[in-house]
Amino acid sequence: MKFWKSMIVFMMLLAIVSGCSQTESNANEDTEVAAGEPPEDFTFGAATVGGLWHSLAASMSEEIREIYPESTATVVEGGSIANLIGIQNDIFALGFSNGESIPMAANAIGDFEEPITNMKTIATFYPNVLHIVVPSSSNIHTVEDLAGQRVSPGIRGYSGEVMFKDILTAYDMSYDDLAQIEYIGTSDAADLMRDGHLDAWVGGLGIPASFVQELDITLGVRIIPLTEEDQVKLKEINEGYNPYTIEAGTYGDHDDILTFAPETVLVANENIITEEVGYELTKMIIENADLWRSVSSTLSDFDAEYSIEYSIGELHPGAKRYYEEIGVLND
């Protein structure tokens, strides 16, 4: 937990340096705003610059400023877990997270020392598909074959590492069974794999993933499949792990690949985002679905029906009212 507290402090400093920090009142315990009133700053927890979450957050922030011109909207690098902790500590008004992190946060599992009660779901966007990527020439063909290998679970503390640890748990394995762990992003992982210094990369990606496509061209890679039994075990471990099939031909010449995929979820801080503001945000997000699809084809299936079908976590009261109003949510 100390790691995440340090990260939150670092993100706060970044926001201050950029001139977009929250007001002093938001740093105090009394962060609730008057009914119907927007916050002075919609501090938006995303992820690394250049990634889809950051691009989406930037586009959504522009629309937020259109609705609430007297408020600012600040996009901050965070991550699935860091964003929820930022919401818990009333640092963030909004944040992206992955579906597996929502039940963990609600039930104080893993990095979450206490249940987070002020996180409420606004919308669900697309599956973040688990990829276990190895060179085509590798002798790794199953999860068990990762024993004794050099593996990257992505950046430390991101959802990819959470998913990987749960996969190992399902196989009665742990990091102790691996030769080496590399905490690196996709770009560095691609370089190490091409140079023969990394045996596998594990993480969640939107489909199709440019990282995999480019690495397949320059090196040649395979995706290690799970089994139906694995999918069942992982769903039991975390309700956010939805069974998923990477369709044949997505990455060259391969058959269907069984895996799982937690959803990308936009969460609001109920202490900061009132019911009325939550309603307006949800309305804006659903009515601008074409805009988000233009940011990335990964969101090709996103609409109100998708958002409700794959929703995880408790809906924000404003979001619930909007979905009921348009007829996609029935009690």
Burial of residue 51, with CB atoms counted within 10 A of its CB: 0-12 exposed, 13-18 middle, 19 or more buried:
middle
CB-CB contact of 20 with 72 (8 Å): yes
Regarding whether 257 and 137 lie in a shared domain, the answer is yes
The CATH number covering residue 240 comes to: 3.40.190.10
Burial of 1 (0-12, 13-18, 19+ CB in 10 A): exposed
Nearest CA-CA partner of 63 in 42, 91, 32, 39? 42
- For the CA atoms of 267, 55, 206, 169, what is the dihedral angle to 10 degrees? -50
Residue 90 lies in a domain: yes
Residue 72 lies in a domain: yes
Amino acid at 211: F
For the chain, the domain total comes to: 2
Both 141 and 232 in a single domain? Answer: yes
Mean pLDDT of the chain: 91
96-125 mean pLDDT: 96
What is residue 17's predicted lDDT score, i.e. its pLDDT?
40
Domain that holds residue 155: 129-261
Same domain, 193 and 252: yes
Are residues 234 and 145 located together in one domain of the fold?
yes
Q: What's the confidence (pLDDT) of residue 34?
A: 57
pLDDT for 51 equals 87
Task: Give CA–CA dist 243/259, Å, rounded.
Answer: 6
Query: Would you call 79 exposed, middle or buried from its count of C-beta atoms within 10 A (0-12, 13-18, 19+)?
Result: buried
Summarised one tens digit per residue, pLDDT across range 273-291 is: 999 999 999 999 999 999 9
